[in-house]
Structures are given as C-alpha cells and as structure tokens.
Amino acid sequence: MRLRPSWLALAGLGVAALVSLQPATAQSMINGFWSPLGNQDSYHYLAGPDPGDFSGLPLTDAALKIAQQYDADEFEMPELMCRPFMATYAPRAISTMRIWETTDSQTQDQIKIETTMAFSAPHRTIWMPASNHPYPSASEPHTWQGYSTGKWVGNVLWVHTDHLKPGFLQRSQGLPLDDKTTMDERIFRYGDILVDIMMISDPQYLSRPFIYSKLYAYIPQGNMDPYPCSVHNQVPTPEGYVPMRLPFYTTNYNEQFAAKGIPLEAARGGEQTMFPEYQDYLKTLPPNPPYEQLRADQQKQLDEQSAIAQGKTP
Amino acid sequence: MKTIVFALVIVHAGLVAAQGRGGQAAAPQPPQNAQQAALIDLTGYWVSVVDEDWRFRMMTPPKGDYAQVPLNTAGRAIADQFNPELYGGARYQTSQIIDCRAYGAAGLMHMPMRLHITWDSPNALKIETDWGVQTRLIHFPPGKPTGDIERALRNGEIAGGRQPASTQGYSIAAWEQPFRFNQTIFQRGAVGRGGGLGQNRAGDAQPGGDLAVVTTDLAPGWLRRNGVPYSAKTRLIEHFMTFQDPTGKDWFTDTTEVIDPEYLNTPFIISSEFQREPDASKWAPHPCKEVK
C-alpha cells in the first residue's frame, strides 16, 4: 500500500487532534487596566508607613537591626532616586496596573503575561509553561523584577518569582529583603475586582511568609501616563554623603506615629503580633511616653551619634 | 480507497477522543445539596493572620480616625459620637473592651479571631468565631447549590427582607464554578461540546471554584472598633477562595464588599486571610460587650 502525501497530511491532522488536547493555556480574564483599591492598608503604600511602625510584620532580629540604621533621607541620593519598585513591592503600591498577554500565533498557547505599573514603571514578565523559557543560571544577575513563572489552576493564576535583587519589604522604613527572597502569588478575579495574594518568603529577614492581598478594580478605558524619572539634586548634600544612622539606636518615631497610639513594643513587630491572642497581650503593655519625651530621647541619641561621627566621645 | 478509509479512521479517532475528553462528556447528575456540591472545603478551624490594616484590627483606632473608609457626612457624624470613656478611658485603644456592634457581619471577618466552620445542615454552612462569640449561617437555596452571584445580583434575583434585622443578617450563597473557556460572556461551569478538531475547550471542566455570599437584613453595626458605622440598608457581597502557600499549608481569603447607601460614598472593599489550624486547641472565646 502506498500513501500519497495528501493522505499522509490528512492522517497527520487526525493525530494532531489527539495530541493537541493539552492543559489550558489561553485565558485572558485578567487582561487590561486595573486601579488599586485604597480601602485596605493604603496608608502603608502612599507616602510609606510611619518610621518604626512594624506592627504585624514577621521580622527577624536581623531585619530590625538593619531597619534601625535606616534614614529615609536616602531617597534624596541621586543613585537611588529612580530606583524602580521590585516585584515584591510594586503590586502593593497605590498605582494603576496594566496586564497583557502574548500568545503563540500558531498554537494560541499563552506564552507570557506581562505587567507594568504607572509609578516607577516596573515591567514584569511571567513566563507560562508553553514558553519553555529557560530558567536563569545561578551566575546571571538578579533583577528588580526577578524571574517569574506562572500556570493556571482553574481561574486562578499561580505565579512563582525568584532571582530578585535585594530590596525592601516596605517603602521608607529600611526593612530589608535579601536576594534569596521568593514570592508566590495567587491571582484571581471576581466580577470587576482583581485579587493578588502575595506570599513573600525570605529566610534571612522574615520568620514566616508575609502574606498580603492587594485588590484592584477593572478600568474599562484604562490609560497610563509615562514615568520619565530623572535625577535632580533637590536637597544639596556633600558628594558621597550616605544618610544613615549608627547601629543599635532606637527608631526615629515621628508625631504621626505617636498619634496612632500603637504601643512601642507592638510597633517592633514580630510574628507574634500577627495572631488574635496578641490582643490579650496588648492590654498588658504600658502606655507610650508623651511624644515630647520620645522626641527629646531621640534628639539625645542623634547628638550622641553626631559626636561619635566627629570623633568625640559622647 | 484503502488509503481514504485509513485516513478517515484516524481523523475519526481524533474527534472521538476529543469529544470523550471534553466535548460530549455525559452531563453529571446534579448534586443533591450544597454539602455534596461543595467545590472547596472550608470546614475546620481557621485563624486570621493579621499583617494588613494592623492598627485598625488589633486595637481600637483613635476616635475620629476613618482612614480608608469612604464615609459620607452622615456617617462621620455618627462616628464622631464614639465615646472612649465607655471603653477604658485613656487606655481605650488597647483595653480590648470591644462593642458587639464591631462584630456584625460587615465588620466581623476583618476582626482578629479564630473561626470554626461546619455544616449546620446539608444546605447551611455555619461560621462560629471565638473573639466576639458570633455565629453566621450561610444558606444555600435548596436544589441550587451552584450559581453566579454577580449575575443573580444584576438580575435582581437576590433581595433583602427575608428576616428581621440581626447582627449577622441573612446570608444566601452559591458555589461559583470557574468560568468556561471560549464564551462570549462570562459563564460558569462545564457544558456544551467542543468544536473544530477538539481544540475548542468550551466543555472542559476546570478545577477550583469559590463560595459567593450575599448578606442582607443587617442590624446597624460598625466597620471598625471606633464606631465607624454601617446602616441597616447595608448589603454585603463576599467571595471565599481557598489556596495553598508554598509549604502546602491551607488558607482561604474572604473578599468583602460593603455597600451602604446611607453612610458610604462608594463600596468599602477589603479582604481577610485565614490559615487552617489542626484542631481547637487555641480556641479562646472572648464575648463582646453590649455597651450602652
């Protein structure tokens, strides 16, 4: 029996019908522009939380020590002015997000999902299984957005991200994340609400995963302005000056923090502060000293640091 | 001729396989009740993990602090009546004297607490809390355990007035299946048949799903411990979704949309995460206070 090429092609189609029944890849229900909802935790993500308010964060002692050396004036450093938000922070920011997908023109398989945010314009790529994109080697530089892979489980997009640059957990607080940080997300949509559950793990600076759910509302006619960041010397400082505080000093609480009434011990965070039983412990904590006293104590510490920096013994 | 038959047999085999795997699968029998139809397992003990909105949840915010709540003028006027003297005076923020109005359904799930979720009957899910000592009953319409709550709301199929107003109100629910593939509008569930060469996946069942709940018939209550109010006209829309963390631990999130035409300018939308606990060993009832 001889098969002519045309029949061979037809037979090939039949085989293709068998092998093409692969798991779903093409879903577009999260594509589009999304506006962040500000009903939850937004005070942490506008200008940044108050200095020293770490309540509810599963920090290690190492993270606290680093945060205590932080000075928010570092934002004025030219080297850091245009630093983009990393993948572990950008979705939590109060900023419009755009999501789009790329599909293979022949198979219609979803190759990648990309996101960008209006503020600081971080551009992230989530590689889907059909991309067969190679995992970065250990010697490749870590990046602000890291390396993300995704898969659909029903209507939920599961994303895993690693290969990140060292960054920060929350803005303007100096809480560190190291380059072994990973993030797992579950992204899904109800009606016109998008939910991004972020689980951030860092064996160095977090004693358990930090879990955060960010909510967005769909924007039918979305738009996004460009973000042309450029460096300007807004606050004149000596060349080479790096704002920081010497180790082992208490945090520089401000008046806004004091007004919120969070007990100083609770503000140090730690995973014990995340669970309901901590409410009973809160009752036992002493009231905070008046802000005037806090400020006087902090000024004394600053004077001591200044004396040390000038080579004088306090 | 033999070649034609050979080729057709192969093509036919492909189409039959396509239909068997998704195109013309026999429709499953409808489940008898909500418990049997459950798409996710919410039963068991759960603990809220509070690393968002900490100062609004773990302690009483300062009087007059309504940050993030789209409160209108009428709502502010009521919130400003909050009297710290009734809740511990100078220590009211951490006294943990918590008014029962803060444990009404619209604010309940955002409070730090443990939950015990069980089936009260085959068509009613029961949620009990240790902090506040509250009980919610989530009712599934008999014979209709699955559905699409957004569509039901748009079509006006869900309305209040079923029961007298109460702290937890009246909750009606449906298991929501994942959306189908290749539909021109969002439709849930797996029905229909494949087309083409079996590549149309409209009939494929997908894993997962969520629980959608609408609550009405609420007595007035508080969104926060410092007296931020919601009214009896409030309607609550919730979606419960289970997920696992990277270590395999079970979680669920409850996304809550509070719609109150009396005190809110726009819906108040928040979410709360709960982690599964192995048993009741940390269950610690803390009754709320009826503060006059």
- Predicted ipTM of the assembly: 0.88
Sign of torsion over alpha carbons B80, B81, B86, B87: negative
Burial of B49 (0-12, 13-18, 19+ CB in 10 A): buried
User: How many angstroms separate the CA atoms of A273 and A54, rounded?
Assistant: 10
Nearest to B98 by CA among A282, A269, A258, A274: A282
Query: Which residues 161-200 of chain A have a CB within 8 Å of chain B?
Result: 182, 184, 186, 188, 190-191, 193, 195, 197, 199
Q: Please report, in tens digits, the pLDDT of each residue of chain A (314 residues total).
A: 444 545 545 444 444 433 333 444 445 689 999 999 999 988 777 767 888 899 999 999 999 988 888 888 888 888 888 888 899 998 888 899 999 999 999 988 899 999 999 988 999 999 999 999 999 998 999 999 999 999 998 889 999 999 999 999 987 788 999 999 999 999 999 889 999 999 999 999 999 999 999 999 999 999 999 998 888 887 888 888 888 887 766 667 889 999 999 999 999 999 999 999 999 999 999 999 999 999 998 888 888 877 887 777 65
Chain-centroid distance, C-alpha B11: 46
Sign, CA dihedral B164-B168-B169-B171, equals negative
Nearest to A14 by CA among B97, B198, B71: B198
Question: Over chain B, what is the mean pLDDT?
Answer: 86
The pLDDT of residue B194: 52
pLDDT of residue B115: 98
**Strands A123-127, A147-153: pairing kind:** parallel
CB-nearest to B206 from A26, A154, A287 is A154
Q: Nearest-CA neighbor of A93 among A149, A54, A35?
A: A35
Q: Residue B195's pLDDT is what?
A: 52
Report whether pLDDT(B12) > 70.
no
Chain A contact set for B6 (CB, 8 A): 3, 7, 11
**CATH number, position A122:** 2.40.128
**Residue B49 three-state SS:** coil
**Cβ burial, residue B275 (10 Å; 0-12/13-18/19+):** middle
List, in sequence order, the alpha helices (H) in B58-147: 73-79, 105-108
CA angle B149, A185, A267 (to 5 degrees): 100
Chain B hits for A186, CB-CB cut-off 8 Å, are: 241, 243
Of B86, B213, B193, the C-alpha closest to B138 is B213
Give the pLDDT band (50/70/90) at residue B186.
low
Cβ separation A29–B15 shorter than 8 A: no
Contact flag A10-B7 (C-beta cutoff 8 Å):
yes
- The answer to whether position A19 is within a domain reads no
How far does CA B28 lie from the centroid of its chain? Answer: 26
Is A261 within a domain?
no
B184: confidence class by pLDDT, cuts 50, 70, 90: low
In B, minimum Cα distance to A156 occurs at B208
In order of A78, A245, B221, the CA distances from A73 in angstroms are 11, 11, 43
DSSP lists the bridge partners of residue A195 as A188, A215
Does any domain span residue A185?
yes
C-alpha neighbours within 13 Å on the C-beta side of residue B242? 18
Other CB atoms within a 10 A radius of the CB of residue A307 amount to 12
The confidence score (pLDDT) of residue A23 equals: 41
- Residues B242-254 as b/e (b if ≥16 CB within 10 A, e otherwise) read bbebeeeebbbbb
Residue A18: which of B17, B93, B245 has the nearest Cβ? B17
Question: pLDDT of B204-240, one tens digit each?
Answer: 667 889 999 999 999 999 999 999 999 999 999 999 9
Distance (Å, rounded) from C-alpha A200 to C-alpha A50? 21
Closest chain A CA to residue B3: A3
**Nearest-by-Cβ selection for A7 from B3, B17, B49:** B3
Torsion angle, alpha carbons of B160, B162, B163, B168, to 10: -50
pLDDT number for residue B205: 67
Q: Is residue A278 part of a domain?
A: no
* Distance in angstroms (rounded) separating the CA atoms of residues B147 and B152: 8
- In a domain? residue A44: yes
Reported confidence tier of residue B44, pLDDT bands at 50, 70, 90? very high
Question: Which of B64, B61, B92, B93 is CA-nearest to residue B76?
Answer: B64
Q: How far, in Å, CA of B35 to CA of B32, rounded?
A: 8
The answer to whether B237 and B149 have CB atoms below 8 angstroms apart is yes
Nearest to B140 by CA among B124, B158, B117: B124
Contact B59 A191 (CB under 8 A): no
Average pLDDT of B156-172? 87
Under 8 Å between Cβ of B113 and B46 = no
Q: What percent of chain B is predicted at pLDDT more than 90? A: 69
Rounded to a whole number of angstroms, the distance from the CA of A183 to the nearest CA of chain B is: 9
Residue to substitute from B3, B249, B273, interface A, most A β-carbons within 10 A: B3
Best of B24, B46, B55, B264 to substitute, by most chain A Cβ atoms within 10 angstroms, is B55
| Residue from B5, B48, B49 whose CB has the most chain A CBs within 10 Å, to mutate | B49
Distance CA A160, CA A158 (A): 7
At B252-289, the pLDDT tens digits run 999 999 999 999 999 999 999 999 999 999 999 999 99
Contacts of residue B90, Cβ cutoff 8 Å, sequence gap at least 6: A287, B84
d(CA A120, CA A80): 12
Q: Give the one of A16, A20, A43 whose C-beta lies nearest to B67's C-beta.
A: A43
- Would you say residue A81 lies in a domain? yes
The CA distance from B256 to B236, in Å, is 7
Which residue range is the domain that position A134 belongs to? 32-49+72-219
Q: Are strands A123-127 and B235-244 parallel, antiparallel or unpaired?
A: unpaired
Interchain proximity B49–A211, CB inside 8 Å: yes
A193 part of a folded domain: yes
- Structure confidence at residue A25 (pLDDT): 44
**How far is Cα A12 from Cα A4, in angstroms, rounded to an integer?**
12
Residue A142 lies in a domain: yes
CA A163 to chain centre: 14
Instruction: Say if CB A155 and CB A161 are below 8 A apart.
Output: no
How far is C-alpha A73 from the chain's CA centre?
21
Burial category of B230 from C-beta neighbours within 10 Å (exposed 0-12, middle 13-18, buried 19 and up)? buried
CB–CB of A245/A52 below 8 Å?
A: no
Query: How many CB pairs lie under 8 A apart between chains A and B?
Result: 207
Question: Least CB-CB distance to A184: which of B62, B246, B268?
Answer: B246
Average pLDDT over residues B147-153: 82
Confirm or reject contact between A213 and chain B (CB < 8 A). Answer: yes
Run of H or E including B8: helix B2-18
**Residues of chain B positioned with their CB less than 8 A from the CB of A24:** 181, 201, 204, 206
Query: Total domain count for chain A?
Result: 1
